[in-house]
Structure 1
Amino acid sequence: MPKGANQKFKLYRLAQIMLECTDEEHYITMPEILKALEAYGITADRKSIYTDLRDLEVLGLEVEGEPMGNRYHYHVVDRPFELPELKLLVDAVQSSKFITEKKSNALIRKLEKLVSKFEARKLQGQVYVSGRIKTMNESIYYTVDAIHHAISTNKKIYFQYYQWNVKKEMELRRGGDWYHISPWGLSWDDENYYLIGFDSGPQQVRHYRVDKMLHIRASEEDREGKSCFKKLNMADYARKSFGMFGGKEETVKILVDNELAGVIMDRFGKDVRLIPVDEKHFTVQVQVHISKQFLGWIFSLGEQVKILSPKEVAGQMEQEAKRLLRQYADGEAE
């Protein structure tokens, strides 16, 4: 049999055919393999394909042949990712506000290549990126990469930080002045990505929305705040900061209705201690950053929760309730 012009690509094309056309539910026969190779300008005989399939297994691609009738049917087994795992990854990408719609679609297309064309259709059936709330900062990939590089090389970073004004215009904070921060980690909270770093000026741990960082560049200065971050648990920091809004850290004692035990554990973890008070209530002590976002979370749980201590925090809750009452008591109905 004459050799095809693309014969040197035979093993690569065979792997491609097996990955694209087979899975646990879809098989391919030897005649179909030969025909698919011919479409790439590659000729082969059955004997050489048997050898090539064994070679693929040595390279890490396991192909299984099963007798069906008078033919063998071949398919790939044990892929790096199972379909349910990829569905989880697709869900994460499409729900992430810090990834633009364009980048989300590009990432999902790459994930689809990890399964057969048949399973890729199942992934496509659950993709709903258009219309979701997404960042408009297309430089997000570069920003994340620059942060990781600065952390690995122990350097500070410079960047500008922006917010949106009422005219829907990008507005630089601090009048466009540069932030000079020591990056120590990245945290994903409430579908947003945050840089957690050390600000040498006030000597404080600060966090910044990654999608609102612009023109990031490396500094020649080494990072500061190492001793501070040795004592800081990143996951714990994110859990204490409601919506990643900062504030003074306090240990707050809360009286909670038993029906909200799941809500408390969802927010603070299963290790939190729930101390029974009576048949209907328990108390819990949690460390949080006191902010309006925390007080708003307490408000949202209604009469089923009450801050017991510290008195200052309970007082802030009272003042916030009075402020809301004043704000709406005198309002005119529309």
Structure 2
Amino acid sequence: MARSANQKSKLLYVRDFLLRSSDQEHPVTVNQIIGFLSQQDIRAERKSIYDDIETLRRFGLDIIQTKEDGRCGYYVGDREFQLPELKLLVDSVQASKFITHKKTVSLIKKIEGLSSVYQARQLSRQVFVANRIKTMNESIYYNVDEIHSGIAQNRQIRFHYFDYTVDKQRRFRREGGFYQVSPFALTWDDENYYMVAYDSQAQVIKHFRVDKMVDIAVLEEERDGKRAYAALDMAVYARKVFGMFSGEERRVRLRFDSRMVGAVLDRLGRDAVLVPDGPDHFTVTADVVVSPQFFAWIFGFHTLAQIVGPQDVVEEMGNYLAQVAEMYAAKE
């Protein structure tokens, strides 16, 4: 009998069947493997399957043999990604506001493909994409790719940058003119994806929302600002900048109720020095970018947090609160 065109791929089909159709709760038999190969127009004998399984084991695939009621079965044990790890990935994709609905569904399908079909069903039951807030910019994947190309090639990039109008239409900044910057890193903050880049014209490090960038192109000019970026600690930078709002970096002293220790460490990091201030409070000194978003963070603690210095920042916080209070003041 003539060999089918798929016969040379037999070992690959066996590997794929074990990875997709078996796990600890669902071992497969040699007869099931032979049946699957037959569907692919591949002839196989039991002995050749045993040989294939041994070859795959030597290759590094963790194939476990089981025996129950005299019936032998096989399943893939240790995988590149375990089910709890895949659940973490699915949760991260679901929660990522900068990934569109369409791309979210596509990515989760690919993550499910890293597990057995039975584990994939467990992952599917944990998918909650509907009604989540997601970006409207479908080109974000291509944006990330272009930005990485600029970084890898040590080249500047240009792009259009936009905001949304009340009627949900794009309104381009700089009257539709291009931005030209030197990209250095991508960072995730407050559920949004940002590019950190050096603006040669302003001679400062800036950040841009990736989902608000379009028409990205890598240029021939080499990147500027390498010294400025080298002096920048990205982990520290992300802690200082609240909601990626720009402002003046200041060293401020804050006073919190002792119940807020966890929230402060989550924001400022585990290396923040907390100094007891009486039985129920503590103070902490931190370098932050003073902005409305920083004031909003402090205000979110109500009376459990207070800026205590320097005085000009305290006064700026007072002015911020006064402006908000004026909006809600009772009218005569």
Asked if these proteins are the same fold (TM beyond 0.5), I'd say: yes
- Aligned twin of 1:218: 218
- Corresponding residue SS for 2:250: strand
Counterparts of 1:56-75 in structure 2, within 5 Å, are 56-75=56-75
Cα RMSD between the aligned structures? 1.3
Q: Does 1:55 align with 2:55?
A: yes
Q: Does structure 1 residue 169 correspond to structure 2 residue 163? A: no
Whether the 8 Å contact between 2:19 and 2:116 is mirrored in structure 1 is yes
Between stretches 210-219 and 51-60, larger displacement belongs to 51-60
User: Hey, what does 1:263 align to over in structure 2?
Assistant: 263
* Offset of residue 6 of structure 1: 2.7
Shift of 1:167: 1.7
Deviations 1:53-104 (A, max 9, x none): 1111233322121222222111111110000100000111111111111111
1:221 & 1:127 partners in 2: Cα distance?
Answer: 44
Is the counterpart of residue 196 in structure 1 residue 196 in structure 2? yes
Q: What do residues 201-238 of structure 1 show as CA deviations (whole Å, max 9, x unaligned)? A: 11111000000001000111111111111110112111
Shift of 1:276: 0.8
SS at match of 1:217: strand
Distance, in Å, in 2 between the alignment partners of 1:105 and 1:327 is 42
Q: Distance in 2 between matches of 1:184 and 1:26?
A: 47
Counterpart amino acid of residue 321 in structure 2:
A
**Would you say 1:281 and 2:281 are equivalent positions?**
yes
Shift of 1:18: 0.6
Match of 2:20 in 1: 20
Equivalent residues of 1:159, 1:214 under 8 A apart: yes
Q: Which residue number corresponds to residue 106 of structure 1?
A: 106
What amino acid is the match of 2:11? L
Looking at structure 1, the residues matched to 323 and 67 of structure 2 have their Cα atoms a distance apart, in angstroms, of 76
Question: In the aligned structure 1, how far is the partner of 2:221 from the partner of 2:2?
Answer: 64
The one-letter amino acid paired with 2:301 is: L
SS in 2 for 1:167: coil
- In structure 2, the partner of 1:155 is 155
1:293 offset after TM fit, Å? 0.6
Q: Distance in 2 between matches of 1:32 and 1:276?
A: 67
What is the match of residue 124 of structure 1? 124
Distance 1:293 1:311 in 2: 19
User: 1:83 corresponds to which residue?
Assistant: 83
CA contact (8 A) 1:2 1:43 kept: no
Query: In structure 2, how many angstroms separate the alpha carbons of the residues matched to 1:58 and 1:105?
Result: 36
Partner residue, 1:207: 207
The one-letter code of the counterpart of 1:159 is F
Structure 2 counterpart of 1:111, one-letter code? I
Instruction: Compute the TM-score of the two structures, normalised by the length of structure 1.
Output: 0.96
Residue-by-residue CA offset, 1:155-174 (whole Å, 9 max, x unaligned): 11000001001121111111
Amino acid at match of 1:240: K
Which sections of structure 1, spanning at least 5 residues, go unmatched? none
Deviation at 1:3, TM superposition (A): 4.6
Structure 2: distance between partners of 1:222 and 1:155: 4
SS in 2 for 1:244: coil
Q: Which moved more, 1:59-68 or 1:304-313?
A: 59-68
- Where does residue 301 of structure 1 map in the other structure? 301
| CA-to-aligned-CA distance 1:13-48 (integer Å, 9 cap, x gap) | 111111111012210111222112112111111111
Any idea what the Cα deviations from partners look like across 1:186-212, whole Å, max 9, x if unmatched? Answer: 000111100001111111110000000
SS of the equivalent of 2:134 reads coil
| Residue 326 (1) aligns with residue 326 (2) | yes
Q: Letter of the aligned partner of 1:147 in structure 2?
A: I
Which AA in structure 2 matches 1:192?
A: N
Write the distance in 2 (CA, Å) between the matches of 1:331 and 1:88. Answer: 50
More moved, 323-332 vs 294-303: 323-332
1:246 aligns with 246
- 1:272 is matched with which residue? 272
TM score, norm. by length of structure 2: 0.97
Tell me the CA shift for residue 331 of structure 1: 4.3
**Deviation of residue 2 (structure 1)?**
7.1
Report the equivalent of 2:140. 140
8 A Cα contact 2:239 2:269, kept in partner: no
Contact 2:155 2:182 in 1 (8 A): yes
For residue 177 of structure 1, what is the amino acid of its counterpart? Answer: G
Conservation of the 8 A alpha-carbon contact between 2:155 and 2:220: yes
Question: Is contact 1:252–1:286 with CA below 8 Å preserved after alignment?
Answer: yes
Counterparts of 1:246 and 1:20, CA distance in 2:
48
Q: How many residues were matched structurally?
A: 332
- State yes or no: 1:180 paired with 2:170: no
Matched residues in 1 for 2:257 and 2:202: separation?
40
C-alpha distance in 2 between matches for 1:173 and 1:95: 28
- Secondary structure at the aligned position of 2:111 is classed as helix
Matched-pair identity in %: 46
Q: Quote the Cα distance in structure 1 between the aligned partners of 2:97 and 2:192.
A: 6
